[in-house]
Amino acid sequence: MKDTTKHFDKVLNASKFYNHVDHQPDANKDVIHNGPEISMPYANQNGNYQRNRPVLNKSFANSKFYIIGSGIAGLSTAYYLVRDAQVPGSHITFIEQLHIEGGSMDGSGNAEEGYLIRGGREMDMTYENFWDLFQDIPAVELPHPYSVLDEYRLLNDNDSNYSKSRLISNKGVVEDFSKLGLNKKDQLALVKLLLKNKEDLDDLTIDDYFSDTFKKSNFWTFWRTMFAFEQWHSLLEFKLYMHRFLHDLDGLNDLSALVFPKYNQYDTFIKPLRKFLVEKGVKLQLNTLVSDMNIEIAADGTKVVKSIETIQDGKDTQIVIGKDDYVIVTTGSMTEDSVYGNNTEAPIQKIDNATSGQSAGWKLWKNLAAKSEVFGRPEKFCGDIEKSSWMSATLTCKPSAFVEKLKGYSVNDPYSGKTVTGGIITITDSNWLMSFTCNRQPHYPTQPDDILVIWVYALFMDKDGNYVKKAMPECTGNEILAELCYHLGIEDQLDNVIENTKVRTAFMPYITSMFMPRAKGDRPAIIPEGCTNLGLVGQFVETNNDVVFTMESSVRTARVAVYSLLNLNKQVPDVYPSQYDIRHLLKATKALNDGAPFVGEGLLRKIMKGSYYEHIIPGSAIDENEEKKENFIQEQMSKFHDWMDHVKGKLNL
């Protein structure tokens, strides 16, 4: 590639930065400053300056790339290999265990047999890596030259998202969900958690830190049902979520911070990305399980993949990895071992914890971990399905009593094509902690006009229902409908609902496995120490500050893997810096206090009044009584400090 940069050789040959890029800068350690030793953007400096194409220092035209797993992390890896490493698509091969690409981002079925979506995606505008990718992928329905991002913006810019029925109880009555309901002690606990170092939270759970009053608050109900946290999950991950989505806290109650696609996740994202890659020549080898890899480990710790062991159509096959070839692996799977049911069949009879981590999808990571500790500890995540599982149901609905009830909870008519429920509606007095949502319809491109697709899920897998005295995984689809209708106060119309509703259920043993408590070293680095031709991507690898259970983090790991493994002269910016923005910090403080003035707000308003920065303080000016109260507190504090100074003077301190 020397010929490409010949006009820049004098600069590049003298540069101490060229080919020595920090591909994953850490905003939690980066001290922002300018100086002669700083040549690149600071860690979380997002923007168009980061849209440069890295000029290659070597060609990869003779290299082959094997990507294990074709979920969003694997597909994104191929995209960045093509776009930024200029790898010919024909040199990239996916090896996928399933019969279809997309991994956990599924969307299948039809109106006759019922649609199936195991999970959905609550999206955020600050997914910088995700949108970096999809601003280049051709749109699903808009003509050339528009992209998936263009399509997404067109829809969400003109149809805002919000909920008018976020919480219901008492046979379907909408609760007041305007407040987060945190007392001062629990607000302070959240602030203290934000201040704690990540390294101090190894293996701690949410239960280890928060009080019972916190877990009875609306905040916790909103949080756990929106993000699928349980009290036995990782406190560290909870903290990372707080930092990552600090800018969304004032939209936590009504879900107004979210943006959603027009269709399901497979048709909106996976299908157009797959089409783009296949048109570039990328190959997909489906129905092939990778069971192990032969890795040569030298005395100095250098690790080189020599071959891949696969099972295809019951036959063992070995793929030899050449000296210029690379392997990128998706470790683990949140939807591995999913079990399905329908209207008349339950997915399982009982959760069997003895089967934890025994399925084929965890085999490769376990075999890697057995070779070296640098590959992490998969058993921390797949070893307790009683704590990592939940269940969802997809309802394919013709007009019925349930659809009529749904209309009352919706911000627009469900058949209008606009936002419907605006996200999940949680039934707070449900023993299962059941939630349901109706996204924009149609949810599938070929969905008939008279059909609605509704998604239902619950967090508590070990409790009997309020109406159906069984745990949810043991229930048929019709029994789940009965439980739902009971909570909506329409159980007397159950026959009508069952007659007009196809139900497909999915029990997922590992759906929140990435939330399990962890410590340093449990998740491997994206490029494990010593690896020269192996990268790891997905939900079970270490990032500096990003969170799990988002498409953004999967795309981030793919991008870091490509840039680091091939030593491209380009960095991957850290997460969106809202946590360092005084506007978002003030807004979040106000939100946690349910809009009431925070300590010092009156003084801050006086200082800012009439200035250029007055607008950064959220909400309207505090009322006269609150201002008098705050002035009194300030006056007493001032007197206390004067008294302390007097005492110190007397004692000659």
A 10 A CB-CB count for 606 gives 11
Asked if residues 333 and 102 have their Cβ atoms less than 8 Å apart, the reply is: no
Tokens of 217: 């608050």
Reported as half-sphere exposure (CB side, CA atoms, 13 A), residue 15 has a value of 14
Query: Which of 96, 101, 122, 630 does the annotation list as catalytic?
Result: 122
For residues 378 and 363, give the distance between their C-alpha atoms in angstroms, rounded to a whole number.
10
Spatial separation of the C-alpha atoms in residues 332 and 57, rounded to whole Å: 33
Catalytic status, residue 115: no
Comparing C-alpha atoms, which of 508, 422, 554 is closest to residue 117? Answer: 508
Hey, what amino acid is at 149?
Answer: L
Q: Which amino acid is at 644?
A: M
Q: Which 3 state secondary structure label does DSSP give 202? A: coil
Spatial strand order in the sheet of 315-320: 288-297, 303-312, 315-320
Tell me the two tokens of residue 28: 């939690």
Per-residue HEC secondary structure of 319-366 comes to EECCCCCEEEEECCCCCCCCEEEECCCCCCCCCCHHHCCCCHHHHHHH
Cα-based torsion angle of the residue sequence 498, 499, 501, 504 in order, rounded to the nearest 10 degrees: 70
8 Å CB contact between 236 and 542:
no
Active site residue 122: yes
Distance CA 140, CA 598 (A): 46
Tokens 């749109």, located at residue:
139
Tell me if 521 sits within 8 A of 376, measured CB to CB. yes
Total residues belonging to the chain = 653
Catalytic, out of 241, 263, 409, 444: 241
Measure the CA–CA gap between 7 and 142, rounded to whole angstroms: 41
Cα 1 to Cα 599: distance, rounded to the nearest angstrom: 60
Catalytic residues, which ones? 122, 241
